[in-house]
Structure 1
């Protein structure tokens, strides 16, 4: 079936640009923003040939996975716009819950899958990465900040040899299409984007995100460049920074880095 917005997204005025194949939905969205597109508009494809993740890593995915990017132009500071990534994680988690529950019911199973959110931008199934989120922003002519939130989800297959082991919905026994997942995602985005409300509702987004956070209260190791910080994942603050509690009780905010569960032993082998 073709890609289509969910009913709630269509009613809210979102638009859709769907491609059979494209290099990068994020790149296409940014190009359109530079050309005057102001959104809100989704860019989606089941096959992305030049996708990228954080730190310009290649995002390699087989045909049938979901690559999606939402473009909106907002009048907020870049630091506030960055917190929209947490709303994106909540949106995808809700969409995954919806399609997985429906798939489990079709199979006659009683056990629903559980997903969690890994700071700052991954969705996990167990300890395996199911999806990644990449947020990019540019100031555009005429004022405003063009924010593109890219969401890549492993629907039919997952890459191998990644720092965090990856999985797919198909491997979890959830056999849905990228199109079905996208319809649920577009509707969930309307809900959590509305709660976020240009940053004014981030306190509620923060609380909802923490309720779904992976390994909250457990030991983590964060690699930033050549430095490694170890401690307990305490919370995220009002700006979205990860707060680590060190063994001496000191709390340290982390703005960026690669997060590994456990200790430096796992970091060294990742």
Structure 2
């Protein structure tokens, strides 16, 4: 089965570049932007050999997993562009829900998986990482900002030894192909990208994201650089920072870091 855009994505003017295998869909997307590509265009493969996640951690997609990146050149400040990652999380969660329901119906099952969003860029199934999102941006000609949103999903296999234990759709009993998931994702991306609306709709994106947030109201520890902030996951603010309420009642905004909940937070996991 070949990769193809969903009908909503096609109507919205998205294009598609699909690869049998590639080093990194994010790197390819940004290279095209530097060469003059303005998008909107998806880059997608089911085998990625040199991808990376946050903090330059490797993100390898063995054949059968989904590595996808969408490129758009927009005119917004980088801080506003950064909030697009929350729309990406919502889009992926919605696509996963759709394909999980369809897979459950095909197998005559009555239940399907529930997914949650972990700040800032992961999708979880239970307490296990199923997917990650990496947003990169670079200034281009004519005051544009090339924004690449990379979305990697464990469809058939999950890496071992990761900071957060990982799983795959196949391990969860959701038997679908990367191509099926991508078709759904391209449509849900068009939907939530439209709600985001160059940052003007982030208030609604924030509300929807918090409804699906992992660990909201729970004990949390955020490791950032050489320091740790501990408290309760209170919210995310208007710029997308995670807000921690400390034991002393202070509300501390965190712009970046590794997040641990519950017993992992209490143990000071690193």
Task: Give TM-score scaled by structure 2 length.
Answer: 0.98
Tell me how far apart the structure 1 counterparts of residues 91 and 24 of structure 2 sit (CA, whole Å).
21
User: How far apart are 1:54 and its partner, in Å?
Assistant: 0.3
CA distance in 2, matches of 1:266, 1:197: 40
Determine the structure 2 residue equivalent to 1:249.
249
Specify the alignment match of 1:121 in structure 2: 121
User: Which SS does the other structure have where 1:243 is aligned?
Assistant: strand
Q: Please give the residue correspondences for 1:182-221 in structure 2 after superposition, counting only pairs within 5 Å.
A: 182-221=182-221
Match of 1:3 in 2: 3
For 2:19, the equivalent position in structure 1 comes to 19
Corresponding position of 2:74 = 74
Q: Is the 8 A contact 1:6 1:186 kept in 2?
A: yes
Is the aligned partner of 1:49 residue 2:49? yes
Residue aligning to 1:151: 151
Q: 8 Å contact 1:137–1:146 — kept in the other structure?
A: yes
Task: Give the root-mean-square deviation of aligned CA atoms.
Answer: 0.9
Mapped partners of 1:192, 1:55: distance in 2: 26
What secondary structure sits across from 1:166 in the alignment? coil
- Paired residue for 1:62? 62
Q: Aligned partners of 2:40 and 2:252: how far apart in 1? A: 36
What residue is the counterpart of 1:261 in the other structure? 261
Task: Look up the match of 1:225.
Answer: 225
**Structure 2 residue aligned with 1:109:** 109
1:196 deviation in Å? 0.1
Cα deviations by residue, 1:179-222 (Å, 9 ceiling, x for unpaired): 00000000000100000000000000000000000010000110
Q: Which residue of 2 aligns with 1:92?
A: 92
CA distance in 1, matches of 2:7, 2:193: 16
Is the 2:46–2:61 Cα contact (8 Å) retained in structure 1? no
> Deviations for 1:206-256, whole angstroms, at most 9, x for unmatched residues?
000000000100001100112111100000000000000000111000000
Gaps of 5+ in 1: none
Tell me how far 1:60 sits from its aligned partner. Answer: 2.1
Please tell me whether the aligned partners of residues 9 and 187 of structure 1 are also in contact (alpha carbons under 8 angstroms): yes
What per-residue deviation string (whole Å, max 9, x for no partner) do you get for residues 42-80 of structure 1?
000000000000011111221110000000001000000
Q: How far 1:265 moved relative to its partner?
A: 4.5
2:224, 2:258 within 8 Å by CA — same for their partners in 1? Answer: yes
Does the CA contact (< 8 Å) of 2:38 and 2:73 recur in 1?
yes
Q: Decide whether the 8 Å contact of 2:219 with 2:265 is kept in 1.
A: no
The 3-state SS of whatever aligns with 2:48 is coil
Deviations 1:75-133 (A, max 9, x none): 00000000000000000000000000000111111112100000000000000000000
Q: Is this contact kept in 2: 1:228–1:264, CA < 8 A? A: no
CA–CA distance in structure 2, aligned partners of residues 249 and 99 of structure 1: 42
* Structure 2 residues not aligned, in runs of 5+: none
Residues in 2 aligned to 1:181 and 1:81: alpha-carbon distance in whole angstroms: 25
Report how many aligned residue pairs link the two structures.
269
Residue 264 of structure 1 and its aligned partner are, at CA, apart by: 4.2
1:167 aligned residue? 167
